[in-house]
Amino acid sequence: MSEITTPRELFLHELSDILYVERKLADETLPKLISEVRDDEFKAALEDHLDQTRGHVTNVEQVFGELGEEASAEKCLGFEGLKAEHDKLLEETSSDLIDSVDLGAAARTENYEIAAYEGLRRMAKALGEDKAVDLLDANLAQEKEALRLVEKIATRVSNESVKATA
C-alpha cells in the first residue's frame, strides 16, 4: 500500500525533504563552504546566505505548525547527490579552482531549492494554506536573490580564472 495517498500527505513529505536540506545547509554545508572558499565576495555572500538559511529552517518549521503538524525532516537524496558530486569533484580538482567548483555547487543547490519551494508553494496554494504560502514565498525570494548573486560572482571568477591561466 502506498504511504502517501493525499495531496496534503505529499505536501508534508516534500516539506520534510526541504527541511532536511535547509538544516544540513545551516549546520554543515554552508559553514564548510565558507571555510574553504577564497574569494572575499563569495565568502561574504555565503555568510549572508547562512544567516538567511537559519531563517529558512524556522519558516519551514512554522509551515508544519500552520498545518498542525510536528516538524520532521526526511533524508533528501537529491541534495545528498549534489553533495556527493561536489565532494568528488573537489578531490579531482586543483585547489586554485576551488571557488569555481563551489560556485557551481552553490548554483545547483539554489536551483534545487527554488524548484522545491515553487512546488511547495503551488501545493500550499491549492490546499488553501495561505499563511504557508507566505512563509514559502519568503524563502523562495531569498533563494532567487542568492542565485542571482552566485551567478554574478561566478561570471567574474570564471573570467578571472581563465585570464590567470591564459
Q: Which DSSP letter does residue 3 get?
A: S
Q: How far is C-alpha 63 from the geometric centre of its chain's CA atoms?
A: 17
Q: How far is the CB of 113 from Fe ion (least distance, A)?
A: 5
Nearer to Fe ion, 52 or 161 (CB): 52
Q: How far is the CB of 44 from Fe ion (least distance, A)?
A: 15
Which SS3 state, helix, strand or coil, does residue 129 take? coil
Alpha carbon distance 156, 45 (integer Å):
14
Interface residue with Fe ion among 63, 116, 143, 150 (CB under 5 A) is: 143
Find the binding residues for Fe ion in span 111-140 (CB under 5 A): 113
The percent of the chain in helix, strand and coil, each rounded to the nearest 5, is 85, 0, 15
Identify the CA nearest to 150 among candidates 139, 158, 161, 140. Answer: 158
Nearer to Fe ion, 9 or 28 (CB): 28
Please choose, out of 8-16, 39-47, 49-57, 74-82, the segment that lies near Fe ion by the rule CB under 5 A.
Answer: 49-57
Binding site for Fe ion (CB under 5 A): 53, 56, 113, 143, 146
